[in-house]
Amino acid sequence: MGNQCRVLFNPCIHIQCKNGGTCLPLDKRELIKFVCSCPEGYYGIYCERTKSQVNIEFSSSLSSKHFQSELVSLFVYFLQLEWGLPGVLSIENRFLYKQMQLNELLDVYNNNNDYLSTFILVEIYFQNNISNYYIGAILKGNSRKINIKIEKINRCPYVDELILNETVRKFPLRRKLKYYHYACEVNSLIKCFYDESSLCFRDKYHQPYCLVFQHQSTQCSINYCKNNGRCIENIINGVWDFACVCNGCSYGSLCQLITSEYVLSFDVMLGQDIKTNISFMKQSFLIKFVLSFIIIMILLGTLSNILSLITFRQGKILEHSCGIYLFCLPLIGQIGLVILDSRYFYLLIT
């Protein structure tokens, strides 16, 4: 350590991080001399503790569009009853997942917790700015790892969807609460619903059990999204992140790409099939096939253009106007290849 790295200091010689963790030395003048960088699924000073985990599978009934290709953003909530405040739900952890496909399995770790929270809630933002809550699990005991499947029947609708009387819908919230039990009795299949300030569950007696829940705290204070996209943010333990939910005519990490002004292009044909924030090997077969085709086209096209330039650069051929045309044609073709390839790689990285 030191300005010139002359002072030897390595507390990690005597430290053994567990479960594949890596020891990182810190400044010896600090109270804490080292930190263990833990692999996913573990935490603690020496990575000795295992995080609780929930594995989430999504039913194909959730999406009205093609289940394999629609990209969604979603929140996974770990909710717990607030200690000392009966009837209030606190967010123990909340994780944001951006532009993922619902046919993917989702493994979520409840950071720095040995056991899962009592309530596990999933909020899915579909394209066209449609968002829905789905109850994942309500746990009665301590659980370290569970598997859940989010079905259409798990959806928590807004309370006005359950109240058929138009007059009651217009009541102030406090007055509308009196009619919640009717909504539970009439809609026997629902498991939960929500209003402006609460998340309500239907108990075995068909009665509502409502808990205070601030579910509107995910909107960005500043909209970073383009083309009227919806910005949602997540701030947990001082870490900030955001995602853009695009409407039907735009896509991309910032909704910066649109389809309404294109007829036939890479943007329209492939843009919505490209997954962001993942390695190329996890892309769909279509994206891999197109890349292979483009590479072959680059090699063959470049070779053909080089041979054409060698052939038509002879002096006698260039003396005629058609010779100049034939000489310039491969140059124009090569420029077109470069533009086409650049557009595809731009879509991949954005």
Q: What residues contact residue 1 under an 8 Å CB cut-off, 6+ apart?
A: 7, 9, 25, 27, 28
Cα dihedral 162, 167, 171, 174 in deg (nearest 10): -50
pLDDT band at 3 (very low <50, low <70, confident <90, very high): low
Per-residue pLDDT, 102: 83
Domain ranges of the chain: 11-50, 52-212, 281-349
Q: Report the Cα 213 to chain-centroid distance in Å.
A: 23
11-50 carries CATH number 2.10.25.10: yes
| Partner residues linked to 91 by β-bridges | 79
The position carrying tokens 């007696």 is 205
Q: Could you tell me the pTM of the whole model? A: 0.71
Rounded CA-CA distance 221/308 in Å is 58
Q: What percent of the chain has pLDDT over 90?
A: 23
* Per-residue confidence band for 275, with pLDDT thresholds at 50, 70 and 90: low
Average pLDDT over residues 35-58: 92
* 321-349 helix and 285-312 helix, angle to the nearest 10 degrees: 160
Name the percent of the chain lying above pLDDT 70.
84
* pLDDT tens sequence across 233-270: 998 777 889 998 887 777 778 888 776 655 555 555 56
Distance CA 122, CA 242 (A): 17
**What gap in Å lies between CA 75 and CA 92, rounded to an integer?**
13
Report whether 141 contacts 79 (CB < 8 A): no
Task: State the number of CA atoms in the 13 A half-sphere of 6 facing the CB.
Answer: 2
Please name which of 137, 145, 234, 241 lies closest in space to residue 192, comparing C-alpha atoms: 137
Residues 138-160: what's their mean pLDDT? 91
CB atoms within 10 A of CB 214: 14
Q: Is the dihedral of CA 255, 99, 59, 80 positive or negative?
A: negative
Q: Count Cα atoms within 13 angstroms, Cβ side, for 130.
A: 12
Residue-averaged pLDDT of the chain: 82
Dist CA 251 CA 158 (whole Å): 27
**Backbone dihedral region of 327: left (phi > 0), alpha (psi from -120 to 50 degrees) or beta?**
alpha
